[in-house]
Structure 1
Amino acid sequence: MLAGRLELSPRRFVVKDVPVPEPGPGEVRIKVAAAGVCLSDVHLIEGGLTPLFLAAPEVTLGHEVAGVIDALGPDVPEPWRVGDRVALEAGERCGRCPNCVRFRGPCLQIRTRGVDYDGGWAEYALASQHTLIALPEDLPFDQAAIVPDAVSTPWGAVTGTGQARPGRPAGVWGVGGLGAHAVQLLRLVGAAPIVAVDPLEAARERALAFGADYAFDSADPKLVKQVHAVTGGLDIAFDMAGVAAVREQAVTCLGLGGRLVLVGLTPQPLALSQSMAFSIRGQRVLGHYGSEPGDVETLIGLAGHHRLDLSRSITARFPLADAGEVVEKLIRKEGHPIRFVLEP
């Protein structure tokens, strides 16, 4: 079968033929219908991110995956059957850390699909039955595929780490693949007003279409005054871009007790030039990664009940064979994408 593989030494991405995998105990094989292309995939290819738990010299990328169960391994329980439409969680528990062994709390060494083990940039992918999410018949595969990261990560940041509240002001810096959904989800939970900040006019227009009340240019020297004028100071600001300058700017837009949530990933150091004011105003910086157990299922349910519209999130679809070119398009931000999707 065809698969998009990241070779680690030397680091190189290549689409090539590999054996079709066979499901082991508790696993199913998925015939992949759609797989999202994320900036995290770009960071892996470029070397900004490196797998922590990968036990092989290369890995199939792709942590946003949906398709149809093609084969069942031994000991896969009902109700899973061949032909079921499913999305795959973006990771799974390690089964080895103290929390996993004792069945207590979150996994301490979570494994990420397409990073620590083979993902879904392939014609077929393996998945533990614990990571399967059943799909409504009317939810398209491409929309379902992006939920396990592009939608669930901002959902976790908005409802979990950030604790956004109805009627309270929130800001989103960077209205790309994560930020566009953050705006939509903040609207869903009732945050108000919602401020979106992005240097690109197209992204600001998109933010307003997705539910932002205001959209400002991050390069505008009046930005901080504008945000304070319409919000009185943000309760919460989300850095969806992973850019040091964004974080510094967002902090200056917080109100008393405001929170900055770091969602976009970057290896660059975190620095606060006005740390005294930050302390006096009782503000906080919170790191965020991924989502909580059950979040993907919740979001699939919301989409299935038409409370969450993901149809605008699919910027373009491409064949798996073109994965390398699609990565380059994402690096160039060609077409101001929310999500590119590969279709094997």
Structure 2
Amino acid sequence: MGFLKTPQTSNQALVAPGKAGQSNSKTQDLKPRLLLMGLRRSGKSSIASVVFHKMPPNETLFLESTTRIQKDSIHSFMDFQVWDFPGQLEYFEPSFDLEDIFGSLGALVWVIDAQDDYLDSVARLNRTILTVQQYYPNINIEVFIHKVDGLSDEYRGDTFQDIVQHISDELSDAGYENAPVHYYMTSIYDYSVFEAFSKVIQKLIPNLSTLENLINTLGDNCGFEKTYLFDVLSKIYIASDTRPIDMACYEMCSDYIDVIVDVSELYSWDHPDRKPKGDQIQEAESHVVLHDETMIHLMEMNKYLCLVSVLRHPEAKEKKGLIDMNCRTFQDALQDVFTRGWDQDKDQEIESQRDHV
């Protein structure tokens, strides 16, 4: 049996979608790009550090303010870049090349500090949206209403609705009706920021519906209550079944990955006298049955991805052999999806969109 290990920086990702729509031929621009923007001290760098570099949330208190664009290449199941922009940067000045900033297929993630006066941030966000949509209408606009952990439940909801209303009203007044802007309440002190980034990343994945259909079929055949396809490095889930999201279930699955990674790093060392006894399965596989007979089942799909499922059935552990067989079948189907050349499919989609603009 193989063991899960936290993936290291590597240029050999399975998939690198988003190679179209770019005028610059540099290798670093051949990746989808997440642009982290917002006013100073809104929490952009803290989010990037916690999600993509596993920094404990409490340690982000010691991060210095970003003074220049921080470009971070993330190498995982798909290669992408995270650009962290200083809050004071005026990127619409003539000295900046808009194509260099916004020309790569990806998402603009605008972070708003929900505990601060957000009217300036809303105004600047709307100016950015109106400008970007003129030239790059296919870029995804994602708004993280951040630091909501410091607000009461009632005030949190009111603040969220007020921010959404301000953004929508100003865009509507500017003639931009029904703007495709998506909103998330986030905090680095819980799983909400991982959930939000999961939704953002999923929009950059071609054939997402195919993955969801495969997971739905697997879940129906195995009786899974919920199934996630996780990126081991960031614990972002790139796909799940279409059943409603249960945050408690998601947190349990995410925590289980940490348990397996930690145990694997302790016990997966190579011993010179250890000899394999027959054919060995390279991917890690694990399960645990909780006190209420809930079973969490984890199976590594490849060096970047693992499938984590929750099954609430008293006879789950008796059916584990069948569950493993179904998961291996899913693994083969997943590999077929990867080998279809996602980037070529996305190139054709973008060219089609451009023809209609």
TM-score by shorter chain over 0.5: no
Higher helix share: 2
Instruction: Give the structure-2-normalised TM-score.
Output: 0.28
Higher strand share: 1
Larger RCO (CA within 8 A; separation ≥ 6): 2
